Structure 1
Amino acid sequence: MKMLAAVMRVAALGLMSACATPAPDEPALLLIDGSRLPPVNVSMTVPNLSHCTDSGDQTLRLNAQQPVTVLVHGCFSSAGRYRGMAQVLAFHGQQTVCFNYNDRDSLLRSAAQLDTALTGLARGLDKQPITVLGHSQGALIARKAMSIGQADAIEGKDGSLRLVTVSGPFGGIAAARHCGSRLWKTLSLGLVGPICQIVTGDKWSEITYTSPFIVDPPPLDPRVTDFLKIVTDEGGSCRRMSQGACVESDAIFSLAEQRNPAIDNDPRVKIVEVKAGHVEIVGNNRDGPVKLIAVLQEQGVIKPTAPEQKEKFGLLLTRLFGEAAR
C-alpha cells in the first residue's frame, strides 16, 4: 500500500508540473485597439475562434483581403491571456484571432477542432495567408492540425499556411513518462493510467515520449510554406520572486523535451533558441514578451516597428505588461 501511495503521489505531482500554472490576472483589457488595423469588411462566426479577449463576443470582424494570425494557447490558459500579444500585432496593423479549446481534451480532438476552425476562417478570407502560432501544449495541437492524415484536414487548396510554435514539448513530457511505463503500470496495480487521466484529462496517453502522437508525427500539409520552431532554454528561470528568492520556477520543459528529429528534420523547419522562461516568453503582467517579439520580427511574422513609432510601442508594452516589460 505504501508503494501504491507513493506511485500515486509522484504521478499526480509530476503531471501537474508539466503544465504552467495560471499566471495572475492581467489588466482588464477586454477590447483590442483596432485603430491601426485594416478596415473591417467581413463578419463571421467560426466555432472555437474568437478575438483574443474574454469578453464573450464570438463574432470575428476582419478584413478579408489581409492575412490573419491564429494564436493557440497552452494548458491552464485562455484566449484572453493572449490579448497582449494580439494588441502587439494590432499595433503593427496585423489581424489576430484566438483558438479556444478544452485543455483536458485529447490532443487529437483539439487538433481536429482547430482544423475545422481554420477551414471556416479560410472560407471567409480572400485566399489570404494564415499563420498559426501555438505555445506549449498549443504548439502540439497546432502542428498536428497542420499535418496530413487528419480526419478533418483543412479544406481548400488556395492560400498558404505558416506554422510558428513556441516552447512545444514535441519530444514528450518527461513528467508524464510514468503514464506510458509498463513498470509503473505494474507497480500501481494498473492504476497509473486512471490517475494520469484524472490529473491531465483525456490527453494523458498522448503526451508521453512513447506515445504514437510523439513518436510518429505525420508530415506537414504541403500548403505549410515554413515552420518557425522557437525553443526556450528555461533553465534557471523564475516566474515569481518573494523577498529576493524564487518561489515558483518558470522552467517547465527542457530543451530535450522540445526536440524531436522526426519533426526538426523537415526542410521547412527553422529552429531558433531563446534563453527565456516558459511563461516569460509569451508575457504576463510582470514580463513582456520582448524576446518573442524580437524573434517574430526578425523572422517576418510581425512587421518591423517603424522608427517613429518605437516610443509609442514601448508605452504600449508598459501599459500591457508593466514597467519591466520594455
Structure 2
Amino acid sequence: MSACLLVGCASYDPIVAPDLEPGRLPPPDVTLSIAGLGPCTDNPDRSLHLKAGEPVTVLVHGCFGSSGQFRALAQVLAFQGQQSACFTYDDRAALDDSAGALRSAATQLTALSGGPPVTVVGHSQGALIARRALTDAVEPAPSLPAPQAVNWRLVTISGPFSGIDAASTCGKNWLYPLTLGLLPLSCHIFTGPKWKDITFSSDFITEPGQLLAGVNYLKIDTAEEGTCRREANGRCLESDDIFSLAEQRNARVETGAAVDRVQVQAGHVEIVGDKLRAPTKLITVLQDKGVLRLVAASRREAFERMLAVAYGLQSDALRRPAVSR
C-alpha cells in the first residue's frame, strides 16, 4: 500500500539556491510579505520584491517539491523581464486547504501590488491545487477583497484530474468496514489528510468546481508512457511515467470556451525540467500560448547559455563567454 501511494508523486532532488539574479526584471518598488508566497528559492527570507502594477507568474510545485524546484524556471521568466513568485504548501495537507491558501495569497498579491495580471502555473499535484484555487469551490476569506478574476490566468501541467490510479484502493469505500477501518487509516498514514482528495471517487475529483468568470485556462497534458528520467547502459533506472493520460483527463475540468488543452509527448519531470535537462518542450508551448514572451533572435544565444547554466547542463563550450559579432 505504501509503495503504491508514494509513487503517485514524482520525486525531486532538493535544491538550495541563492537569491535569483534580477536579469531583465523591472526594478522593484514594493516589498510584500504574503503567507505562502515567496521568491523561487529555498532562501528562508520569503519577502517578495516586485514592481507594482507589472504582471506576476505564481508557480505551484507538486508533492516532494519546494520553491527551489522552480528556481530555474523563474530565471527563464526573468530573462524575458517577467516577474515570478512561488507558492509553498504542506504537500500532505488536504488539497482544499492548500487551494484556499493559494486563493488567499493570489488575491492579496493582486490587491497589494496594484492589481497586475496574475498567472498561476501548477505542476502535478500543484496543478490540482492551482485549478481548485480559481474555482467557485473555494470560499474566499471574508477579510479579503473580492478577487479580480479578469486579471487571472491558469496553467496546469500534468495534473491527475481524474484521481491517482495508485491510490484507487483508498477510494473504494466498501472496503473500509471489511478492513475494520485499517484501509483509510493506512491511506492517511502514508499520504496525510490529502488522501481523501486524490482518489477517483473523491468529491475533489468528481466535483472540481467551475472556474471563476474571466479566468483563461491552459491545460497541458503529458503523454508519459515509456519515458525515462534516468538511464545507464541502455537501461532505464528511473521511469518518468507517473500519470497516464487517462489520469490527467477529466471532462469536468476541460469544458468551456476559456479552456485550451495541449498534449505534449514528455515525461512527468522532463516537462518542467530538472538538473539533467531544460524544459524546452514546455517553454515552446508557453511561448506559443503567450504565457512566456518570445526570445528575440539577437538574444537567442544568450538564452541558450542561460538555460544551460540554470539547469546544470554546462559544457566547457557553454562556460566560455559568447563571442561578440
TM-score higher than 0.5: yes
The TM tier, using the shorter chain, reads over 0.9
**Residue 200 of structure 1, CA deviation:** 0.7
Does the Cα contact within 8 Å between 1:15 and 1:199 map onto a contact in 2? yes
| Aligned residue in 2 for 1:316 | 306
**Letter of the structure 1 residue corresponding to residue 155 of structure 2:** V
**Residue 182 of structure 1, CA deviation:** 3.2
Does the Cα contact within 8 Å between 1:136 and 1:168 map onto a contact in 2? yes
**Residue 243 of structure 1, CA deviation:** 3.0
**Residue 320 of structure 1, CA deviation:** 1.3
**What is the total number of aligned residue pairs between the two structures?**
313
Q: Is 1:34 matched up with 2:22?
A: yes
Does the Cα contact within 8 Å between 1:281 and 1:292 map onto a contact in 2? yes
Q: Is 1:263 matched up with 2:253?
A: yes
Q: Is 1:81 matched up with 2:69?
A: yes
SS at 2:138's partner residue? Answer: coil
**Residue 223 of structure 1, CA deviation:** 3.2
Q: Is 1:284 matched up with 2:274?
A: yes
| Aligned residue in 1 for 2:159 | 168
SS at 1:156's partner residue? Answer: coil
SS at 2:194's partner residue? Answer: coil
Q: Is 1:300 matched up with 2:294?
A: no
| Aligned residue in 2 for 1:92 | 80
Change (3 A) 1:13 1:186: farther
Q: Is 1:243 matched up with 2:243?
A: no
Cα deviation digits, residues 53-87 of structure 1 (max 9, x gap) = 01111111001121000000000000001000000
Q: Is 1:191 matched up with 2:218?
A: no
Cα deviation digits, residues 2-61 of structure 1 (max 9, x gap) = xxxxxxxxx21111110112x2345x5422111300111111100010000011111110
Q: Is 1:227 matched up with 2:217?
A: yes
SS at 1:205's partner residue? Answer: helix
Cα deviation digits, residues 120-156 of structure 1 (max 9, x gap) = 1111122211000000000000111100142226743
| Aligned residue in 2 for 1:24 | 13
RMSD of the TM alignment (CA)?
Answer: 1.7
Distance 2:17 2:99 in 1: 28
| Aligned residue in 2 for 1:108 | 96
**Residue 191 of structure 1, CA deviation:** 0.9
Distance 2:193 2:170 in 1: 12
Cα deviation digits, residues 207-259 of structure 1 (max 9, x gap) = 111111100111111131x1000000000011111333111111000000000
Distance 1:171 1:263 in 2: 10
| Aligned residue in 2 for 1:5 | none
Q: Select 1:203's aligned residue among 184, 194, 198.
A: 194
TM-score by length of 1: 0.92
Q: Select 2:40's aligned residue among 35, 52, 56.
A: 52
Does the Cα contact within 8 Å between 1:287 and 1:324 map onto a contact in 2? no
